[in-house]
């Protein structure tokens, strides 16, 4: 079993099992074929093999079939045959909705002026002080962590569901512990780290602390203004070179490297607290994992009678060979740690995914003078 591990915080990646049946709309099928033929230059045989796992939810009719077969320089003979098979199998399905006309894009907004160098330094210093004490400010608590995992064996953005994990996370004296895991609708408890696939931990302060740790000697630069969940944010890019990195990547239980990494931090303009951090390790050529990235969003939640800024959602993307994976991790039901505290695992009816607008960045409007 192959895997990669990024320590403190770290990421665990294993190869996924045999491809499950993938359900697609006609629009998703068009996106998949375009990505495979035009962007990834995937061989005809591999595309056709993947199409054998696809089941359409809509009818693939003649004009759409012709469009698919002629994308780019045209599909190969095996892909054409697989598409015609899908078309024949879909004859009894409902017709797809007509393509929606794209709304005209609004004119660009005038840019807000960047803070001067003195203000930028003050903001980074304040964020550094905040990150250094963040974990110490959190109470002991438990919460529910829901991880929805997806994969695309062809390396694109046509995600098939792999599984859903519900786990009880205990945060006690600055350390995380995963005490109970249920996979999909199963009531059988399993060990979190034995599941394989892509897993992550360290969201409660480790990532933030390493970015702002003086020992990391991170190089911060002004990037732009951003807007998250209605909050206008200062956005800074950062880079930590290999010599000062504290970020470990382990692959195959033997290849342990400490790469340089980069990312962004979003600092709320009003509270000057960090609402988002991203991380992308710069992996050397020849390493088993080709790409990895983490986006960690914070929002306010109550624990007991007090409100804290806590991890809300994590997006983890990775690529090993041609396989891409995506984890959407959410934290729910925060409760103060104690003998009476419980987390109920409703594995048949898990919490619905958080809406996209909780983590989507929106344009920044310049305030009126």
Query: CA-CA distance, 241 to 222, in Å (whole number)?
Result: 18
**Average pLDDT value over all residues in the chain:** 80
Predicted confidence at residue 369, as pLDDT, reads 39
C-beta of residue 166 within 8 angstroms of C-beta of residue 189:
no
User: Are residues 72 and 173 located together in one domain of the fold?
Assistant: no
Banded pLDDT at 2 (limits 50, 70, 90): very low
pLDDT tens string 231-285: 999 999 999 999 998 887 777 667 778 889 999 999 999 999 999 999 999 998 8
The residue from 71, 89, 107 where one domain ends is 89
Q: What is the CATH number of the domain that holds 340?
A: 2.50.20
Banded pLDDT at 353 (limits 50, 70, 90): low
pLDDT tens string 62-115: 888 888 888 877 788 888 898 889 888 888 888 888 767 777 776 765 678 899
Is 78 inside any structural domain? Answer: yes
User: Are residues 73 and 138 located together in one domain of the fold?
Assistant: no
350: pLDDT strictly greater than 90: no
User: Are residues 203 and 83 located together in one domain of the fold?
Assistant: no
Is 15 inside any structural domain? Answer: no
User: Are residues 46 and 164 located together in one domain of the fold?
Assistant: no
Interval 316-332 mean pLDDT: 86
pLDDT tens string 187-244: 556 776 667 666 666 667 678 888 999 999 999 999 999 999 889 999 999 999 999 9
Range of the structural domain that residue 67 is part of:
26-89
Is 104 inside any structural domain? Answer: no
E strands, the chain, where?
A: 3-7, 10-14, 22-24, 54-56, 141-152, 160-172, 175-183, 199-201, 219-228, 231-240, 248-251, 255-257, 261-268, 274-281, 289-303, 306-320, 323-336
User: Are residues 75 and 186 located together in one domain of the fold?
Assistant: no
User: Are residues 280 and 178 located together in one domain of the fold?
Assistant: yes
178: pLDDT strictly greater than 80: no
C-beta of residue 283 within 8 angstroms of C-beta of residue 289:
yes
Interval 325-352 mean pLDDT: 70
User: Are residues 81 and 131 located together in one domain of the fold?
Assistant: no
User: Are residues 211 and 325 located together in one domain of the fold?
Assistant: yes
Total domains, the chain: 2
More confident residue, 187 or 182: 182
More confident residue, 40 or 345: 40
User: Are residues 165 and 301 located together in one domain of the fold?
Assistant: yes
Is 103 inside any structural domain? Answer: no
13 phi and psi angles, rounded to 5 deg = -125, 130
Is 213 inside any structural domain? Answer: yes
């Amino acid at each position: 079993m192959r895997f990669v591990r990024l320590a403190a915080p770290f990421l665990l990646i294993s190869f996924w099992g045999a491809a499950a049946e993938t359900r697609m709309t006609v629009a998703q099928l068009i996106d998949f074929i375009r990505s495979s033929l035009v962007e990834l230059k995937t061989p005809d045989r591999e595309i056709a093999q993947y199409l054998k796992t696809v089941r359409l939810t809509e009818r693939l009719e003649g004009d759409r079939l012709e469009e698919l077969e002629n994308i780019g320089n045209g599909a190969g003979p095996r892909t054409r045959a697989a598409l015609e098979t899908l078309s024949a199998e879909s004859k009894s399905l409902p017709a797809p909705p007509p393509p929606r006309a794209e709304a005209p894009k609004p004119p660009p907004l005038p840019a807000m002026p960047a803070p001067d160098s003195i203000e930028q330094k003050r903001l980074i210093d304040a964020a550094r002080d905040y990150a250094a004490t963040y974990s110490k400010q959190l109470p002991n608590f438990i919460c529910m962590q829901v991880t929805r995992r997806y994969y695309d064996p062809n390396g694109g953005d046509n995600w098939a569901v792999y599984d859903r994990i519900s786990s009880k996370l205990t945060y006690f004296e600055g350390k995380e512990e995963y005490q109970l895991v249920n996979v999909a609708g199963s009531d059988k408890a399993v060990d979190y780290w034995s599941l394989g696939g892509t897993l992550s931990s360290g969201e409660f302060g480790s990532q933030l602390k390493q970015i702002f740790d003086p020992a990391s000697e991170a190089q911060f630069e002004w990037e732009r203004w951003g807007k998250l969940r209605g909050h206008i944010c200062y956005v800074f890019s950062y880079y930590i070179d290999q010599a000062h990195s504290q970020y470990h990547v382990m692959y195959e239980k033997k290849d342990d490297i400490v790469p340089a990494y980069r990312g962004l931090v979003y600092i709320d303009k009003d509270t000057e607290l960090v609402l988002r951090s991203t991380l992308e390790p710069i992996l050397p050529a020849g390493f088993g994992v080709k790409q990895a990235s983490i986006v960690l969003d914070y929002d306010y939640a109550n624990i007991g009678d007090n409100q804290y800024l806590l991890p809300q959602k994590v997006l983890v993307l990775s690529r090993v060979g041609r396989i891409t994976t995506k984890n959407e991790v959410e934290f729910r039901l925060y409760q103060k740690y104690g003998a009476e505290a419980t987390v109920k695992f409703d594995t048949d009816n898990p919490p619905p995914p958080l809406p996209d607008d909780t983590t989507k960045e929106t344009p920044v409007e310049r305030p009126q003078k």
